[in-house]
Amino acid sequence: MDNHPPMKLRRRRRAFLWGVLMILTVSVALPTAVTWVAAQDAEHANPRAEFWRAVRQGAAGFSTVRGPQANVLIDSRGEDWRLLRNGPVAGFGAVAMGSMVVLLLLYSILHGRVRIEGGRSGRTIPRWSLFNRTLHWYTAILFIVLAITGLSLLYGRAVLIPWLGLDAFAAYAAFAKLVHNYLGPAFAIGVVLILVLWLRFNLPEKTDWQWIKAGGGLLGRGRHPHCGFMNPGEKIFTYGSMLVLGIVVVATGFVLDFPNVPQPRATYQLSQLLHDAAALLWITIMLGHIYLGLWGVEGALEGMVSGEVDENWARQHHDLWYEQVKQGTATQEAIRGPQGGGAGTPEPGRPSTV
Ligand code: HEM
């Protein structure tokens, strides 16, 4: 009996084996060939490609223009700066400001306004002089304009373009930038004056710790802790934020306002990131201050508008200062400001004019 498979079957087997062999050969040979060709190409690579790669990575060339990095055509750190600004910095600001708004809404709903205990007495005492009120509102209004224009520049692409469209946003952004750049130095004057002239109101006092432990009387409805002319909340957050964040914002703002002063681009980029981060944190804190001043604490705004506060408000929030005023030992001249005048008669306890 013939055990050999039929001829046709043998041919098929052989064809199959040859097929497998060819596939294996091609799958090894082809990548090897491609790699070899690429290696040959790299040996004869276009030197201009290397040149442009170096330019892209910030290599310095030659330029007759003078100034730091004038001979660097492309500073690739600019891309890192852009990613940091539009990513973590802008994101941090949005989360911080958004959280503060939510917190204030919750506080307002759950706790409500801090009312004047026993209602208004109908008698007022002078608290802020005309000079100090003017200084406050000059600085506050500039702060608000700078915050609106600054936020428009940072978040405009994401928030305003879909709303205004490209052309209207371009016109607004150009205007906002101009306003921001020119009003910055004017705001710096207000910041410096407040820091210098109001320092004496914001020095630490023995009673501050008790006030902090009692949460400033803002939480719960217990007795308001003892307090002098300024409470530690104002000292730490309002004045303190101006001392730390205000100085950072103003100093970096000056660097940004004068790009033609010779300085490395890295200084400019770092200043911009610091300026944004500090300003965003400051705006977040000032949202709390504005809420408390406008609405949260009944009777506080009057002091900054007319210069006078109700006696019951003074007794409730600043009892130690109130006692001094009553005993005639308060630093009223200090309170009335370096220029004096403006808050009406310094005589305490006169009928309300508010
Ligand atoms: C609508 C906005 C604002 C309102 C309603 C407001 C209201 C007030 C009020 C009522 C006081 C006096 C509190 C007291 O007598 O104890 C005050 C103090 C103060 N405000 Fe404002 N303010 C506003 C915006 C600002 C802004 C934007 C800034 C900063 C740039 C600012 C900085 C200050 C400072 C530094 C004090 C004194 C706090 C201290 O010395 O500790 N205010 N504000």
Q: Look at residue 70 in the predicted model and tell me its pLDDT.
A: 82
Residue 244 and residue 231 in one domain: yes
93 within domain boundaries: yes
Q: Which domain holds residue 7?
A: 1-36
- Pocket test residue of 304, 316, 317, 331 for ligand 1, highest count of atoms within 8 A of CB: 304
Residue 202: CB partners within 8 Å, gap ≥ 6? Answer: 230, 234, 235, 239, 240
Q: Look at residue 183 in the predicted model and tell me its pLDDT.
A: 98
Q: How many angstroms does the Cα of residue 49 sit away from the middle of ligand 1?
A: 59
Q: How far apart are CA 240 and CA 218, in angstroms?
A: 19
Q: Look at residue 339 in the predicted model and tell me its pLDDT.
A: 41
Q: In a structure prediction context, what are the per-residue pLDDT tens digits for the chain, which is 354 residues long?
A: 456 678 888 888 888 889 888 998 888 888 888 888 777 766 666 778 888 888 888 888 888 888 777 888 888 888 899 999 999 999 999 999 999 999 999 999 999 999 999 999 999 999 999 999 999 999 999 999 999 999 999 999 999 999 999 999 999 999 999 999 999 999 999 999 999 999 999 999 999 999 998 887 766 665 688 999 999 999 999 999 999 999 999 999 999 999 888 888 889 999 999 999 999 999 999 999 999 999 999 999 999 999 999 999 999 999 999 999 988 876 554 455 444 443 434 444 343 332
Q: Look at residue 284 in the predicted model and tell me its pLDDT.
A: 98
Q: How many angstroms does the Cα of residue 289 sit away from the middle of ligand 1?
A: 7
155 within domain boundaries: yes
Structurally, the chain folds into a number of domains equal to 3
Closest Cα to atom 31 of ligand 1: 140
Residue 121 and residue 66 in one domain: no
Residue 69 and residue 81 in one domain: no
**Ligand 1, closest atom to CA 246?**
30
Residue 195 and residue 323 in one domain: yes
- Reduced DSSP (H G I as helix, E B as strand, rest coil) percent helix, strand, coil of the chain, to 5: 70, 5, 25
Please give the radius of gyration of the chain, using alpha carbons only, rounded to the nearest integer: 34
Residue 184 and residue 325 in one domain: yes
- In sequence order, what are the beta bridge partners of 126? 308
- Pocket test residue of 127, 142, 241, 290 for ligand 1, highest count of atoms within 8 A of CB: 290
Q: Look at residue 349 in the predicted model and tell me its pLDDT.
A: 39
**Ligand 1, closest atom to CA 235?**
41
Q: How many angstroms does the Cα of residue 140 sit away from the middle of ligand 1?
A: 7
Q: What is the DSSP code (8-state) at residue 219?
A: S
41 within domain boundaries: no
Q: How far apart are CA 58 and CA 71, in angstroms?
A: 10
Provide residues with CB under 6 Å of ligand 1: 127, 136, 139-140, 143-144, 194, 198, 201-202, 230, 234-235, 238-239, 242, 286, 289-290, 293-294, 300-301, 303-304
Q: Look at residue 46 in the predicted model and tell me its pLDDT.
A: 75
Residue 81 and residue 70 in one domain: no
Q: CATH number of the domain that 179 lies in?
A: 1.20.950.20
Q: How far apart are CA 94 and CA 285, in angstroms?
A: 13
